[in-house]
């Protein structure tokens, strides 16, 4: 490669435009190292300045300018993301510990409930109740229990009913059904007896539904009563 070859084959223009093959690039760069005066002859500095002016006119930065990072790669965003991740991790850990503690408490209460024996009743309390005939009532007729266990002899006045045999359904209010007593007979005074240990049921309100049994076995609602248990 010599000066005539460079001019004839437009090596400078092809080099600057990136159209020169790799071997041509290496040969041209080696020739320039051996003949640095060629750079002045081809006015390389003026060409570079002209190219920079074109970049500036077109709103482009110079090749050595540091390009702005996308917003997701900027330091404040990265720091904020890391802090948010840390907060979420701590929150998740705290919630996990709370759920674990709650589950352990529930299991403990269930075990205590399953193993809890009835307290021996030291007395009997006879209670005459006038149940509602029109429907369930939110008001408790009596509170059973307290510091000492006792037998509660509940007497429901059903002297007005035409039935002699009844079903008694016991529901814990807002929770679920406790049990059903079938074919309970009333006494000669028209009272329906239900005797309970005051520690048999957990504290809370219970709805009793009394249904009369027809001769075919059909259950007909007769009365309702709400009672409360305390510990």
Distance CA 216, CA 191 (A): 22
Residue-by-residue pLDDT tens, the chain, 231 positions:
677 777 777 777 777 777 778 887 788 778 777 777 766 666 666 666 666 666 666 666 555 555 556 666 667 777 888 888 888 888 888 888 888 887 777 776 566 555 556 667 777 888 899 999 998 888 899 888 777 778 888 999 999 999 999 999 999 988 888 889 999 999 999 999 988 887 778 888 999 999 999 988 899 999 999 998 887
All domains in the chain, ordered by first residue? 3-57 (no CATH), 124-230 (2.60.40)
Provide the sign of the torsion angle of the four alpha carbons 106, 203, 145, 221, taken in this order: negative
Give 27: exposed, middle or buried? Use CB within 10 Å, 0-12, 13-18, 19+: middle
Name the residue among 15, 50, 9, 47 with its Cα closest to residue 32.
15
Report CA-CA distances (Å) from 112 to 71, 145, 196, 200.
58, 19, 21, 14
Q: What is the pLDDT of residues 155-192, one digit of tens each?
A: 999 999 999 999 999 999 888 888 899 999 999 999 99
Distance CA 41, CA 202 (A): 106
Predicted pLDDT of residue 164: 92
Strands 204-213 and 219-230, sheet pairing: antiparallel
Q: Residue 54 CA to chain centroid, in angstroms?
A: 59
Predicted pLDDT of residue 163: 93
Name the residue among 62, 64, 201 with its Cα closest to residue 119.
201
Predicted pLDDT of residue 67: 59
Predicted pLDDT of residue 192: 92
DSSP label at residue 39 = H
Give 118: exposed, middle or buried? Use CB within 10 Å, 0-12, 13-18, 19+: exposed
Task: Share the mean pLDDT of the chain.
Answer: 80
Q: What is the pLDDT of residues 41-63, one digit of tens each?
A: 666 666 666 666 666 666 665 55
Predicted pLDDT of residue 152: 85
Predicted pLDDT of residue 125: 84
Predicted pLDDT of residue 229: 86
Distance CA 193, CA 205 (A): 19
- Write out the H or E segment, with its range, that includes residue 172: strand 165-172
Claim: this prediction has a pTM higher than 0.75: no
Predicted pLDDT of residue 162: 93
Which residues, 6+ apart, have CB-to-CB distance to 216 below 8 Å? none
Predicted pLDDT of residue 220: 93
């Amino acid at each position: 490669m010599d000066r005539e070859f460079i001019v004839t084959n437009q090596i400078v223009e092809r080099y600057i435009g990136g159209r020169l093959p790799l071997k041509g690039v290496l040969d041209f760069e080696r020739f320039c190292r051996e003949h640095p005066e060629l750079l002045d002859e081809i006015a390389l500095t003026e060409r570079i300045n002209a190219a920079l002016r074109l970049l500036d006119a077109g709103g482009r930065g110079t090749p050595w300018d540091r390009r702005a990072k996308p917003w997701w790669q900027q330091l404040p965003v990265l720091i904020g993301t890391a802090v948010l991740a840390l907060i979420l991790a701590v929150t998740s850990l705290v919630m996990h510990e709370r759920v674990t503690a709650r589950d352990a408490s529930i299991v403990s209460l269930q075990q205590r409930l399953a193993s809890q024996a009835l307290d021996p009743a030291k007395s009997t309390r006879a209670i005459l109740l006038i149940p509602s005939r029109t429907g369930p009532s939110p008001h408790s007729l009596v509170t059973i229990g307290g510091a000492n266990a006792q037998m509660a002899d509940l007497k429901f006045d059903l002297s007005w009913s035409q039935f002699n045999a009844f079903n008694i359904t016991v529901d814990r209010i807002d929770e679920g059904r406790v049990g059903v007593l079938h074919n309970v007979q009333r006494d000669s005074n028209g009272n329906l007896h239900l005797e309970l240990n005051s520690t048999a049921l957990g504290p809370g309100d219970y709805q009793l539904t009394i249904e009369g049994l027809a001769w075919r076995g059909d259950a007909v609602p007769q009365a309702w009563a709400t009672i409360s248990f305390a510990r």
